[in-house]
Amino acid sequence: MYYFALIDGFRLDDNYEEGTLGLSFSTSSQRVTEHYVLTFDGVVLQKEWDEDRKNWTTIWKSIETECDVYGKCGEFGTCNSNNSRICGCLKGFEPRNNQEWNEGNWTSGCVRRTSLQCGDIGAEENGFLRLRNMKVPDNAVMLNTVNEEQCRSQCLGNCSCLAYSYYLGIGCMIWRESMVDIQEFSSLGVDLYIRLAQSELEETGSRWKLILAITLGLGVVIVVLVMYYIWRRMRRRNESNVISNNDTHSHSIKLESGFDDVKLQDLPLFRFEELVAATNNFDLRNKLGQGGFGPVFKGKLEDEQEIAVKRLARASGQGLQEFMNEVDVISKLQHRNLVKLLGCCVDEEEKMLVYEYMPNKSLDAFLFDSGAQELLHWRKRLNIIEGICRGLLYLHRDSRLRIIHRDLKPSNILLDEDLNAKISDFGMARIFGGKEDQGNTNRVVGTYGYMSPEYAMEGRFSEKSDVYSFGVLLLEILSGRKNTSFNNDDSLNLIGYAWKLRNEDNIHSLIDTTINNPCFHEEILRCIEVGLLCVQELPEERPSISTVISMLDSEITDLPQPMPACIYARQNPMS
């Protein structure tokens, strides 16, 4: 339950004689700076007036995660907001409809794998499986019992009892018909005991016995391996400290804009020989891709950790400045939608960055490959869009620095094993300090087709430059087509093509056939409108990334009408 004090202007009218209770509001002497909104999908929002932005901002909402939606995972389903796939079946249960379940529609819930044999003559007695840290289901029946053992006994003796929970201060709760709206927490929560057939319990118990036996049998081997691993780590750390202490002066470079020197010893240092071994001497078979910075190789360290090694090409046009800029920017950042920098290597003319390895490479490998496009169904694409938004919001607003990426495009969006988006390649990024909100440069870097007009033509960049790039990227995700794939079309590029279809009242034709399902049209068309708002010609007409998120989440229901963009001819990529 959400408790709150009365806001100025509200008055509670309690009429004991008539048995009524009311809430009245008057603005005669108070200015309204806060109000509540009930959205079409039942979410309560608390909004506060932001005088600086001249806009209402959301400061609280009744549903924080998807798991807060009642019955999100259906009957006998359990929800965990920390998982990439939030819904799962309780142990001993399986999806009722596998096709819907795989498409991300979990409302049909789960069914038992093995029926209960309660009350049957000669049948094995059922038992209970303990689930920790749970939010218990709805519609519990309260029983008057002395302790947990009595609660368990009463549930076991009642064939209609599906589960029980005993919590001090509340007592005994049982569930007889269905179990809906269950959540798993990482901590807190209560113990929930679900009733299962004896065969299901034996399967679970046997599995744990086997694991225990294997663990005990290999105990001595594991101890030896752990000791060897610790010895190797300590030896490597000592070697790194020696390198760091010896090279303090040679590993520092002064960055522009008055920032402090970047010290490479602030990051874990890898030895050149270590990365040569990890990549099998930079074998071309381990090459993941090529950028303006240089080639990227897959590698595996001695502890079996997989890495991606970004090696500065000696003939690279970006050179040392971008190398140090990327180290400076990304070493200060930590977010689940930004690629993680593990360390770097500087050995004479060799300069390398070491990142976490992304098994699914980059977004363009899926988006523009007809064979791989089918893996990006609508829910996956929407999750990728939301991940990019969260990463940009962190860069623009939520980190202790304000950072403009300046090179947002599909090849710089990496995908992990669950196809979650992570923004990468910060070699072109710029840090704003203090109250700075825009910059100017005579050296325009990035990729034409994703640059905002003011940046490509005048060298001016700001948060709205990234918003423009995001708008192009969003239209590519929705259409499955590259912005620069219109060689023989009068539209010049994807933005022009989208406006052409919109003016012809044929915007549905823009949608990638892989996701062109009428069930999703409302969401997809809203995303297209947001994309067109992001690629408007004037920066001040584009929404901020926080506003974009509100638009995509339908917190802003009535979208403004986008103004046609200034469409200029496609040019060759530049970096």
Residue-wise pLDDT tens digits, 70-94? 899 999 999 998 888 999 999 999 9
> Could you report the per-residue pLDDT of 197-256, keeping only the tens digit for each?
888 887 665 555 666 667 777 887 888 888 888 887 776 665 555 444 444 333 333 333
Q: What is the pLDDT at residue 259?
A: 35
221-356 and 363-552 in the same fold: no
10-24, 284-298, 355-369: least confident range = 10-24
Q: How many percent of the chain have pLDDT more than 70?
A: 80
Q: How confident is the model at residue 292 (pLDDT cuts 50, 70, 90)?
A: low
Other beta carbons within 10 angstroms of residue 305's beta carbon come to 12
Mean pLDDT of 163-169: 91
Q: What is the pLDDT at residue 246?
A: 43
Q: How confident is the model at residue 26 (pLDDT cuts 50, 70, 90)?
A: low
Q: What is the pLDDT at residue 207?
A: 59
Q: What is the pLDDT at residue 385?
A: 97
Q: What is the pLDDT at residue 436?
A: 56
* Cβ contacts of 44 within 8 Å, gap of 6 or more: 2, 36, 37, 38, 61, 62
CATH number of 221-356: 3.30.200.20
Which amino acid makes up residue 353? L
Q: Is the pLDDT of residue 257 over 50?
A: no
Q: What is the pLDDT at residue 564?
A: 79
Which amino acid makes up residue 19? G
Spatial separation of the C-alpha atoms in residues 83 and 241, rounded to whole Å: 38
For the ranges 262-271, 338-347, 410-419, the maximum mean pLDDT occurs at 410-419
Q: How confident is the model at residue 123 (pLDDT cuts 50, 70, 90)?
A: low
Q: Is the pLDDT of residue 275 over 90?
A: yes
As a whole number, the mean pLDDT across the chain is 82
Q: Which has more confidence, 398 or 155?
A: 155
| Block residue for tokens 């498409």 | 103
Q: What is the pLDDT at residue 184?
A: 93
43-52, 71-80, 106-115, 435-444: least confident range = 435-444
Residue 230: its H or E element = helix 219-246
Q: What is the pLDDT at residue 334?
A: 83
Q: What is the pLDDT at residue 574?
A: 44
3 state SS of 164? strand
Query: Which residue of the set 247, 283, 328, 407 is catalytic?
Result: 407
5-9, 43-47, 458-462: least confident range = 5-9
Other beta carbons within 10 angstroms of residue 242's beta carbon come to 11
Is residue 14 flagged as an active site residue? no
- Identify whether the C-beta of residue 521 lies closer than 8 Å to the C-beta of residue 380: no
Q: What is the pLDDT at residue 529?
A: 96
The domain locations on the chain are: 10-63, 67-214, 221-356, 363-552
Mean pLDDT of 47-55: 86
- Identify whether the C-beta of residue 60 lies closer than 8 Å to the C-beta of residue 46: yes
Question: What are the tokens at 211?
Answer: 């694991």
3 state SS of 542? coil
Spatial separation of the C-alpha atoms in residues 244 and 247, rounded to whole Å: 5
Q: What is the pLDDT at residue 250?
A: 37
79-83, 153-157, 230-234, 518-522: least confident range = 230-234
Pick the CATH number of 363-552 from 2.40.100.10, 1.10.10.10, 1.40.20.10, 1.10.510.10: 1.10.510.10
Alpha-carbon torsion angle 233, 237, 240, 245, nearest 10: -170
